[in-house]
């Protein structure tokens, strides 16, 4: 279809048929919806609509990038997470559905009508902090990331979603928070081992390494956070961490070593133990 130098005029049905031969069907649909700024129902009900040459060229370029492996979220610059849609760029990790578990566990620990200080370490696009702030308007949320670019994406997301109970700052874990204490600390830190072969596969190839990898079999950031957390936690505050499929026991041991209580691990919807946490200085 795109063999000639000059693009032919094509319909929605024709261009989708071509795309389906080259990339995943859902990816093709999402990319065409993005180019035409329409929803799925529109594609289904307008199979004979003719695309302008600009639209078909733009779609063609996106399909080529997808064939080369570029993740769809980076091509459309957005990804849904929980009940919100976030801007993403190659400066931040693509939101993962499994991270919704961390948000659920956090929300379950944040009162609805009382103030509560929440910290999200390594906020990336801001999905965890922004979603918590949206669902708990009385909470006061602080989000931190080392990457200046990530901080600006997280701020764009907070503004776009009209979140006012959040402050997003650049910093290295707790280092910019001397003397500050929180009622809940959450993090989805980098936890993939530096030499993990998965880093050379699929979407991971395009995501920022700083957001993915950590030394010591992936546990270095988790250990740094758990060790540094206690002086930043109010009595009975929770620390909740997302981690890799084989890191739950190590994570719980680190929490035990720092005298956390009520330590638990929880599987995600795929049955993979994905989040561990504990409560600090529990009252008797």
If the CB atoms of residues 91 and 237 are measured against ligand GLN, the closer one turns out to be 91
Q: Is 188 annotated as a binding residue?
A: yes
What is the Rg, in whole angstroms, of the alpha carbon atoms belonging to the chain? 21
Cα–Cα distance measured from residue 76 to residue 284, given in angstroms and rounded to the nearest whole number: 51
Q: Is 124 annotated as a binding residue?
A: yes
Q: Is 235 annotated as a binding residue?
A: no
If the CB atoms of residues 189 and 278 are measured against ligand GLN, the closer one turns out to be 189
Look up residue 113 and give its DSSP letter: S
If the CB atoms of residues 1 and 220 are measured against ligand GLN, the closer one turns out to be 220
Q: Which residue in this structure is represented by tokens 């209580």?
A: 261
Q: For binding to ligand GLN (CB under 6 A), which residues are involved?
A: 93, 95, 99, 122-124, 127-128, 188-190, 211
With H, G, I as helix, E, B as strand and everything else as coil, classify residue 16. helix
Provide DSSP, 128-173: HHHHHHHH-TTEEEEEEES-HHHHHHHHHHHHHTT--SEEEEE-SG
User: Which residue number places its CB atom closest to ligand GLN?
Assistant: 124
Q: Is 122 annotated as a binding residue?
A: yes
Partners of residue 188 on adjacent β-strands: none
If the CB atoms of residues 75 and 127 are measured against ligand GLN, the closer one turns out to be 127
Q: How far is the CB of 256 from ligand GLN (least distance, A)?
A: 24
Q: Is 115 annotated as a binding residue?
A: no
Distances (CA, A) of 194 to 91, 173, 219: 19, 20, 10
Q: How far is the CB of 185 from ligand GLN (least distance, A)?
A: 13
Cα–Cα distance measured from residue 64 to residue 62, given in angstroms and rounded to the nearest whole number: 5
If the CB atoms of residues 47 and 97 are measured against ligand GLN, the closer one turns out to be 97
Q: Is 126 annotated as a binding residue?
A: yes
Q: How far is the CB of 10 from ligand GLN (least distance, A)?
A: 37
Q: How far is the CB of 86 from ligand GLN (least distance, A)?
A: 9
Annotated binding site for substrate: 188-191
């Amino acid at each position: 279809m795109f063999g000639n130098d000059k693009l032919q005029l094509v319909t929605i049905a024709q261009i989708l048929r071509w795309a389906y031969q080259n990339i995943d069907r859902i990816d093709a649909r999402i990319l065409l919806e993005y180019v035409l700024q329409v929803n799925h129902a529109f594609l289904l009900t307008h199979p004979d609509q003719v695309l302008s040459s600009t639209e078909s060229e733009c779609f063609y370029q996106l399909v080529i990038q997808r064939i080369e492996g570029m993740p769809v979220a980076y091509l459309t610059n957005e990804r849904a997470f929980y009940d919100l849609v976030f801007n993403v760029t190659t400066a931040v990790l693509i939101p993962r559905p499994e991270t919704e578990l961390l948000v659920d566990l956090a929300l379950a620990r944040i009162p609805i009508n009382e103030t509560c200080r929440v910290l999200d370490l390594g906020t990336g696009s801001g999905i965890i902090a922004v979603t918590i702030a949206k669902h708990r308007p009385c909470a006061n949320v602080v989000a931190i990331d080392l990457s200046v670019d990530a901080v600006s994406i997280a701020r764009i997301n907070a503004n776009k979603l009209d979140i006012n109970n959040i402050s997003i700052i650049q910093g290295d874990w707790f280092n910019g928070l001397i003397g500050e204490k929180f009622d809940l600390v959450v993090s989805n830190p980098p936890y993939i081992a530096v030499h993990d072969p998965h880093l050379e596969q699929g979407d991971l190839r395009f995501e920022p390494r700083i957001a993915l990898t950590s030394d010591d079999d992936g546990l270095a950031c988790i250990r740094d956070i758990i060790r540094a957390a206690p002086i930043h936690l109010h009595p009975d505050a929770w620390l909740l961490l997302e981690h890799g499929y084989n890191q739950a026991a190590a994570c719980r041991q680190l929490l035990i070593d720092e005298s956390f209580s009520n330590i638990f691990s929880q599987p995600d919807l795929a049955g993979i133990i994905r989040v561990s946490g504990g409560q600090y200085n529990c009252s008797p």
